[in-house]
Protein backbone atom coordinates (compact mmCIF):
# COMPACT_ATOMS: atom_id res chain seq x y z
CA UNK A 1 0.00 0.00 0.00
CA UNK A 2 2.95 2.35 0.48
CA UNK A 3 4.22 2.13 -3.09
CA UNK A 4 2.90 4.50 -5.73
CA UNK A 5 -0.07 3.07 -7.53
CA UNK A 6 -2.53 4.26 -10.10
CA UNK A 7 -5.42 3.22 -7.87
CA UNK A 8 -6.89 5.45 -5.20
CA UNK A 9 -6.19 4.23 -1.70
CA UNK A 10 -9.90 3.76 -0.96
CA UNK A 11 -12.78 3.52 -3.34
CA UNK A 12 -16.26 2.51 -2.31
CA UNK A 13 -19.04 1.90 -4.76
CA UNK A 14 -22.69 1.90 -3.68
CA UNK A 15 -21.78 0.50 -0.30
CA UNK A 16 -24.73 -0.61 1.79
CA UNK A 17 -24.95 -2.16 5.22
CA UNK A 18 -28.10 -3.58 6.68
CA UNK A 19 -28.01 -4.84 10.26
CA UNK A 20 -30.56 -7.23 11.61
CA UNK A 21 -31.44 -6.78 15.24
CA UNK A 22 -34.07 -9.35 16.11
CA UNK A 23 -36.86 -8.78 13.60
CA UNK A 24 -35.86 -5.23 12.89
CA UNK A 25 -33.66 -4.23 9.99
CA UNK A 26 -31.48 -1.18 10.20
CA UNK A 27 -30.22 0.29 6.97
CA UNK A 28 -27.08 1.85 8.37
CA UNK A 29 -25.56 2.65 4.94
CA UNK A 30 -27.65 3.20 1.82
CA UNK A 31 -25.24 3.44 -1.07
CA UNK A 32 -22.03 5.25 -0.22
CA UNK A 33 -19.76 5.96 -3.17
CA UNK A 34 -16.55 7.81 -2.47
CA UNK A 35 -12.89 7.94 -3.31
CA UNK A 36 -10.08 8.83 -0.95
CA UNK A 37 -6.60 9.33 -2.32
CA UNK A 38 -3.32 8.56 -0.60
CA UNK A 39 -2.25 11.33 1.75
CA UNK A 40 -5.72 12.80 2.20
CA UNK A 41 -6.81 14.02 5.62
CA UNK A 42 -10.56 13.59 5.83
CA UNK A 43 -13.09 14.38 8.53
CA UNK A 44 -16.24 12.28 8.55
CA UNK A 45 -19.16 14.08 10.17
CA UNK A 46 -22.87 13.53 10.59
CA UNK A 47 -25.54 13.05 13.24
CA UNK A 48 -25.53 10.14 15.67
CA UNK A 49 -26.72 7.01 13.89
CA UNK A 50 -25.89 8.32 10.40
CA UNK A 51 -23.53 5.41 9.72
CA UNK A 52 -20.08 6.88 10.44
CA UNK A 53 -18.77 4.01 12.55
CA UNK A 54 -20.32 1.49 10.17
CA UNK A 55 -18.49 3.07 7.23
CA UNK A 56 -15.22 3.13 9.19
CA UNK A 57 -15.59 -0.57 10.03
CA UNK A 58 -16.13 -1.44 6.36
CA UNK A 59 -13.16 0.65 5.20
CA UNK A 60 -11.07 -0.87 8.00
CA UNK A 61 -11.91 -4.40 6.79
CA UNK A 62 -13.54 -5.22 10.12
CA UNK A 63 -16.94 -6.00 8.67
CA UNK A 64 -18.34 -6.80 5.25
CA UNK A 65 -20.95 -4.81 3.34
CA UNK A 66 -24.43 -6.07 2.55
CA UNK A 67 -23.91 -4.92 -1.04
CA UNK A 68 -21.54 -2.75 -3.00
CA UNK A 69 -17.76 -2.87 -2.99
CA UNK A 70 -14.90 -1.43 -1.02
CA UNK A 71 -11.53 -1.40 -2.75
CA UNK A 72 -8.25 -0.68 -1.05
CA UNK A 73 -5.47 0.03 -3.47
CA UNK A 74 -7.60 -1.28 -6.31
CA UNK A 75 -8.28 -4.56 -4.57
CA UNK A 76 -11.83 -5.54 -3.66
CA UNK A 77 -11.48 -6.49 0.00
CA UNK A 78 -14.33 -9.01 -0.29
CA UNK A 79 -11.99 -11.07 -2.47
CA UNK A 80 -9.17 -11.26 0.06
CA UNK A 81 -8.82 -14.41 2.12
CA UNK A 82 -8.63 -14.29 5.92
CA UNK A 83 -4.83 -14.29 6.00
CA UNK A 84 -4.60 -11.44 3.49
CA UNK A 85 -7.24 -9.47 5.37
CA UNK A 86 -5.54 -9.96 8.72
CA UNK A 87 -2.25 -8.84 7.21
CA UNK A 88 -3.80 -5.75 5.64
CA UNK A 89 -5.47 -4.80 8.93
CA UNK A 90 -2.37 -5.40 10.99
CA UNK A 91 0.26 -3.80 8.75
CA UNK A 92 -1.50 -1.07 6.88
CA UNK A 93 -4.45 0.12 8.92
CA UNK A 94 -4.44 1.67 12.38
CA UNK A 95 -7.87 1.78 13.98
CA UNK A 96 -8.94 3.91 16.93
CA UNK A 97 -12.31 2.57 18.02
CA UNK A 98 -15.04 4.73 19.41
CA UNK A 99 -15.08 2.33 22.37
CA UNK A 100 -11.25 2.02 22.53
CA UNK A 101 -11.29 -1.84 22.59
CA UNK A 102 -8.29 -2.15 24.88
CA UNK A 103 -7.64 -5.38 26.76
CA UNK A 104 -8.56 -4.42 30.35
CA UNK A 105 -6.15 -6.68 32.22
CA UNK A 106 -3.11 -5.73 30.17
CA UNK A 107 -0.95 -2.73 30.89
CA UNK A 108 -0.91 0.28 28.58
CA UNK A 109 2.53 -0.86 27.41
CA UNK A 110 1.28 -4.37 26.61
CA UNK A 111 -1.81 -3.06 24.79
CA UNK A 112 0.35 -0.92 22.51
CA UNK A 113 2.67 -3.87 21.86
CA UNK A 114 -0.09 -6.26 20.77
CA UNK A 115 -0.23 -5.31 17.06
CA UNK A 116 3.56 -5.52 16.94
CA UNK A 117 3.46 -9.05 18.38
CA UNK A 118 1.13 -10.07 15.54
CA UNK A 119 3.48 -8.37 13.07
CA UNK A 120 6.46 -10.32 14.44
CA UNK A 121 8.41 -7.34 15.76
CA UNK A 122 11.25 -8.31 18.13
CA UNK A 123 10.55 -7.81 21.86
CA UNK A 124 13.22 -5.17 22.40
CA UNK A 125 12.06 -3.08 19.44
CA UNK A 126 8.44 -3.58 20.47
CA UNK A 127 9.05 -2.24 23.96
CA UNK A 128 11.10 0.66 22.65
CA UNK A 129 8.43 1.71 20.19
CA UNK A 130 5.55 1.25 22.65
CA UNK A 131 7.35 3.51 25.15
CA UNK A 132 8.01 6.05 22.45
CA UNK A 133 4.35 6.09 21.36
CA UNK A 134 2.98 6.31 24.89
CA UNK A 135 5.34 9.21 25.53
CA UNK A 136 4.13 10.82 22.32
CA UNK A 137 0.54 10.75 23.59
CA UNK A 138 1.59 12.05 27.01
CA UNK A 139 1.29 8.82 29.01
CA UNK A 140 4.91 8.27 30.00
CA UNK A 141 3.85 7.97 33.65
CA UNK A 142 0.99 5.53 32.97
CA UNK A 143 2.79 2.79 31.05
CA UNK A 144 2.36 0.06 33.65
CA UNK A 145 -1.25 0.88 34.52
CA UNK A 146 -3.72 -1.72 33.37
CA UNK A 147 -6.18 -0.21 30.97
CA UNK A 148 -9.04 -0.56 33.49
CA UNK A 149 -6.97 1.65 35.79
CA UNK A 150 -6.95 4.50 33.29
CA UNK A 151 -9.38 7.36 32.75
CA UNK A 152 -11.46 7.51 29.56
CA UNK A 153 -9.20 10.10 27.99
CA UNK A 154 -6.11 8.09 28.91
CA UNK A 155 -7.61 4.95 27.37
CA UNK A 156 -8.32 6.91 24.24
CA UNK A 157 -4.69 7.97 24.05
CA UNK A 158 -3.50 4.38 24.56
CA UNK A 159 -5.83 3.42 21.69
CA UNK A 160 -4.21 6.05 19.46
CA UNK A 161 -0.72 4.85 20.43
CA UNK A 162 -1.76 1.27 19.64
CA UNK A 163 -3.20 2.31 16.28
CA UNK A 164 0.16 3.83 15.36
CA UNK A 165 2.20 0.82 16.50
CA UNK A 166 2.91 -0.66 13.06
CA UNK A 167 3.22 2.71 11.31
CA UNK A 168 0.05 2.23 9.28
CA UNK A 169 -0.40 3.95 5.94
CA UNK A 170 -4.04 4.51 6.82
CA UNK A 171 -5.24 5.77 10.18
CA UNK A 172 -8.95 5.44 10.93
CA UNK A 173 -9.95 7.25 14.11
CA UNK A 174 -13.51 7.18 15.41
CA UNK A 175 -14.04 10.19 17.73
CA UNK A 176 -10.42 10.20 18.94
CA UNK A 177 -10.91 13.38 20.96
CA UNK A 178 -14.41 12.65 22.27
CA UNK A 179 -13.22 11.98 25.83
CA UNK A 180 -10.32 14.39 25.97
CA UNK A 181 -10.15 17.77 27.66
CA UNK A 182 -9.54 20.71 25.35
CA UNK A 183 -5.79 20.81 25.80
CA UNK A 184 -5.23 17.07 25.38
CA UNK A 185 -7.59 17.07 22.41
CA UNK A 186 -5.52 19.82 20.80
CA UNK A 187 -2.34 17.83 21.40
CA UNK A 188 -3.96 14.83 19.76
CA UNK A 189 -4.92 16.92 16.75
CA UNK A 190 -1.38 18.30 16.53
CA UNK A 191 -0.16 14.71 16.41
CA UNK A 192 -2.64 13.93 13.62
CA UNK A 193 -1.55 17.07 11.73
CA UNK A 194 2.03 15.88 11.99
CA UNK A 195 1.09 12.43 10.69
CA UNK A 196 -0.83 14.00 7.80
CA UNK A 197 2.17 16.19 6.91
CA UNK A 198 4.27 13.05 6.75
CA UNK A 199 1.96 11.76 4.04
CA UNK A 200 -0.22 9.37 6.04
CA UNK A 201 -3.84 9.01 5.05
CA UNK A 202 -6.20 9.86 7.90
CA UNK A 203 -9.94 9.58 8.29
CA UNK A 204 -11.27 10.99 11.51
CA UNK A 205 -14.87 10.81 12.70
CA UNK A 206 -15.86 13.80 14.76
CA UNK A 207 -18.79 15.87 15.93
CA UNK A 208 -16.46 18.73 16.66
CA UNK A 209 -16.11 21.42 14.00
CA UNK A 210 -12.78 22.43 15.55
CA UNK A 211 -11.41 18.92 15.03
CA UNK A 212 -12.86 18.76 11.51
CA UNK A 213 -11.14 22.07 10.77
CA UNK A 214 -7.80 20.26 10.89
CA UNK A 215 -8.81 18.04 7.97
CA UNK A 216 -8.54 19.16 4.37
CA UNK A 217 -11.79 17.53 3.33
CA UNK A 218 -15.07 17.05 5.14
CA UNK A 219 -17.54 14.33 4.21
CA UNK A 220 -20.98 14.52 5.80
CA UNK A 221 -23.21 11.51 6.21
CA UNK A 222 -26.92 11.63 6.84
CA UNK A 223 -29.20 8.60 7.10
CA UNK A 224 -26.53 6.34 5.65
CA UNK A 225 -25.80 8.50 2.62
CA UNK A 226 -23.21 11.09 1.72
CA UNK A 227 -25.04 14.34 2.19
CA UNK A 228 -22.34 16.82 1.27
CA UNK A 229 -18.63 17.31 0.84
Ligand X SMILES: Nc1ncnc2c1ncn2[C@@H]1O[C@H](COP(=O)(O)OP(=O)(O)OP(=O)(O)O)[C@@H](O)[C@H]1O
Chain positions contacting ligand X, by CB under 6 A: 19, 21, 26, 28, 46, 48-54, 98
- Shortest spacing between CB 204 and Mg ion, in angstroms: 12
Q: In this complex, which beta carbon is closest to Mg ion, that of residue 47 or of residue 199?
A: 47
- The reply to whether 53 sits near Mg ion by the rule CB under 5 A is yes
Please state, in angstroms and rounded to a whole number, the distance separating the CA atoms of residues 126 and 1. Answer: 22
Q: Phi and psi dihedrals of 93, rounded to 5?
A: -125, 125
- The reply to whether 206 sits near Mg ion by the rule CB under 5 A is no
Please state, in angstroms and rounded to a whole number, the distance separating the CA atoms of residues 202 and 173. Answer: 8
28 binds, among ligand X, Mg ion, none (CB under 5 to 8 A by kind): ligand X
Report the SS3 class of residue 130. Answer: helix
- The reply to whether 113 sits near Mg ion by the rule CB under 5 A is no
- Shortest spacing between CB 47 and ligand X, in angstroms: 7
Please state, in angstroms and rounded to a whole number, the distance separating the CA atoms of residues 128 and 133. Answer: 9
Q: In this complex, which beta carbon is closest to ligand X, that of residue 80 or of residue 225?
A: 225
Helical residues (DSSP H) of 12-122, grouped into ranges = 52-59, 82-92, 108-119
Are the CB atoms for 11 and 38 separated by under 8 Å? no
How far is CA 8 from each of CA 85, 126, 191, rounded to the nearest angstrom? 18, 31, 24
- The reply to whether 54 sits near Mg ion by the rule CB under 5 A is no
**Which of these ranges, 98-106, 112-120, 121-129, 215-223, lies near Mg ion under the rule CB under 5 A?**
98-106
Q: In this complex, which beta carbon is closest to ligand X, that of residue 16 or of residue 53?
A: 53
Residue nearest to Mg ion (CB): 53
Residues in contact with Mg ion by the rule CB under 5 A = 52-53, 98
Amino acid sequence: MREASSYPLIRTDQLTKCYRAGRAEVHALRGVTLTIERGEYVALMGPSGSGKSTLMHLIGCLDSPTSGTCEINGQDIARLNDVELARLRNREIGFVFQTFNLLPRLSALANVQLPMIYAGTRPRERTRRARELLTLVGLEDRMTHKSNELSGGEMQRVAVARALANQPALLLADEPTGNLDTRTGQEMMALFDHLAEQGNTIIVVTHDAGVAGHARRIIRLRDGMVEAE
